[in-house]
């Protein structure tokens, strides 16, 4: 158990809908990262937050947004869902993003858009 909790584990929804994925980082970790893993596009970095502020941004679609709350949990919002958004979404956390910190991953949320 990495200490990073993602909910829900599985999600099935229809095209055009909106969903929210939740990530609770390890206790004491200030950084949260979101990734998408799909068969078509492989593993992609979406976005990173550090102590509530956006730190890094990857290939995140405009239909997607994220935030990190004061209690450091993070949510990834996916809207106007398309079939191609079906993927495994991972969250990871680390103390910070400096030299000697390791990132720990949650088990992921598997999103299926039908």
Partner 1 sequence: AQSVAQPEDQVNVAEGNPLTVKCTYSVSGNPYLFWYVQYPNRGLQFLLKYITGDNLVKGSYGFEAEFNKSQTSFHLKKPSALVSDSALFFCSVRYSSGTYKYIFGTGTRLKVLA
Smallest gap from Cβ 93 to partner 1, in A, equals 11
Task: Indicate the residue among 85 and 108 with the shorter CB distance to partner 1.
Answer: 108
Q: In the complex with partner 1, which residue's Cβ is closer, 59 or 80? A: 59
Give whichever of 14 and 27 is closer to partner 1, judged by the CB atom. Answer: 27
Longest dimension (CA), the chain: 42
Query: Least Å distance between CB 14 and partner 1?
Result: 26
Q: To the nearest whole angstrom, how small is the minimum distance from the Cβ of residue 29 to partner 1?
A: 13
Question: 93-100 long-range contacts, Cβ below 8 Å, gap at least 24?
Answer: 93/3, 93/4, 93/23, 93/25, 93/26, 93/29, 93/31, 93/32, 93/33, 94/29, 94/30, 94/31, 94/33, 95/28, 95/29, 95/30, 95/31, 96/30, 96/31, 96/50, 97/31, 97/48, 97/50, 97/55
Applying CB under 8 A, the residues found at the interface with partner 1 are 2, 33, 35, 42-45, 48, 55-58, 90, 92, 97, 99, 102-108
CB of 19 to partner 1, least distance (A): 19
Q: Which is nearer to partner 1, 18 or 28 (CB)?
A: 28
């Amino acid at each position: 158990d990495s200490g990073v909790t993602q909910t829900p584990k599985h999600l099935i929804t229809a095209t055009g809908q909106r969903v929210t994925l939740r990530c609770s980082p390890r206790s004491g970790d200030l950084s949260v990262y979101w990734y998408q893993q799909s068969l078509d596009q492989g593993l992609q970095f979406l976005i990173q937050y550090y102590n509530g502020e956006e730190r890094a941004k990857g290939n995140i679609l405009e239909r997607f947004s994220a935030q990190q709350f004061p209690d450091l949990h993070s949510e990834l919002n996916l809207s106007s869902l398309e079939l191609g958004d079906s993927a495994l979404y991972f969250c990871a956390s680390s103390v910070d993003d400096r030299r000697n910190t390791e990132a720990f991953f949650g088990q992921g949320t598997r999103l299926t858009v039908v």
